[in-house]
Amino acid sequence: MSNDGAFGRTIQLFLVDGKPTGLRKATIHGWTGLLFVSGASAFGDLTAREEVDRTGVYILSGPDPDKPGGTRAYIGSGNSVAERIKQSAVKRDFWETAITVTTSDDDLSKGHAEFLEARLIEVAAQAGRVTLDNSTQPDTKRRRLPEADVANMEQFLANLRIILPVIGLDMLKPQPKAVTQTAQSVEARTTGEVQFEIRHKSGVQATAVEEDGEFVVLEGSEALTGTGYVQQSYGGLKEKLITDGVLVTQDIPPGTNKLRFARPWSFTSPSAAAAVVLDRNSNGRLEWKVKGASQTYHDWQQAQATKQEAAQ
């Protein structure tokens, strides 16, 4: 049993029409918050729901047309979420997923919704995982609510932090400290984390840590380029990292086919990280090894699972 204060939560996902690609309803046991999720094909079903014709907030998300591999999102609120989200969807062509947030007992006021909208924009901007399509960032201090209401809305937001990743949107999740706390040395911000490395025959070297389910390649790591391999999965991501200045040629000797990570970058998996480092589709569970040892990431992960089982 974990003793860090965390506890289990029950999240219910209901497929309204029985199809995983159709309209979905998401709730947390014991919480009045009510989410509906749809793609473009089920958007009419979403806006027709009685529960959506209530005061609340909404999110439109999809691929960022300006950043390959990135996500763009728009956050809004309204007295009738159904009407407002229809208006917003018509004005934007990037979105692929629509999410509405209301309550089962219709107890959100306009002030509550505007406060939530402002806080969602604020937290998403701080996390930096999506590009916000909102032209302005509302000031939560101007959304004056009684102290008790502010506390309730912060708890509401805490539940949204839990449920949004379950339905596929990580926009509120803080970046790993290995990415954000770059004012500290690598040793200071990765204290207690196991480091992994790739030492390739080409001479390329890379170091990474895993933090809260994300695989972070640290600054100073190298990545091969121009190998000629066809990357079906991660070629676009590598181009994005080059365009964004994450992968650079600075401090790389002329004539070598290497790039350098100018800053740490968080990947969704060890394989995504290995593919960018080695410039080819790769099984990161085997390519990454515990630093200074021959143990692969896969073997290390299996050993960790065995320890956890033994501790229970």
Q: What is the dihedral of CA 28, 53, 124, 170, to 10 degrees?
A: 40
Confidence of residue 1 (pLDDT cuts 50, 70, 90): very low
Please state whether 157 falls in left (phi above 0), alpha (psi between -120 and 50) or beta: alpha
Whether the predicted pLDDT of 81 surpasses 90: yes
pLDDT band at 84 (very low <50, low <70, confident <90, very high): very high
pLDDT of residue 157: 97
| Per-residue tokens: 253 | 């000797």
Per DSSP, helices labelled H in 128-202 are 147-166, 177-180, 186-189
Distance CA 211, CA 190 (A): 9
Q: What is the pTM of this model?
A: 0.79
How far apart CA 118 and CA 123 sit, in angstroms, is: 9
Q: How confident is the model at residue 143 (pLDDT cuts 50, 70, 90)?
A: low
pLDDT of residue 2: 43
Answer whether residue 278 shows pLDDT above 70. Answer: yes
* Of residues 43, 22, 110, 123, the one with CA closest to residue 75: 123
Structure tokens at 204: 């390329």
What is the structure's pLDDT at 137?
A: 74
Q: Average pLDDT of 73-80?
A: 97
The answer to whether the beta carbons of residues 127 and 169 sit under 8 Å apart is no
Q: What is the pLDDT of residue 140?
A: 63
| Strand partners for 15 | 24
pLDDT the model gives residue 141: 64
261 secondary structure, DSSP code? E
Strands (E) located in the chain: 11-15, 24-28, 33-38, 56-63, 71-78, 97-103, 131-132, 195-199, 205-211, 214-217, 222-224, 247-248, 258-261, 265-267, 289-290
pLDDT tens track for 15-70: 999 998 899 999 999 999 999 999 999 999 999 999 999 999 999 999 998 877 78
Q: Average pLDDT for residues 198-220, to the nearest whole number?
A: 92
- What is the rounded average pLDDT for all residues in the chain? 90
Mean pLDDT for the stretch of residues 147-153:
94
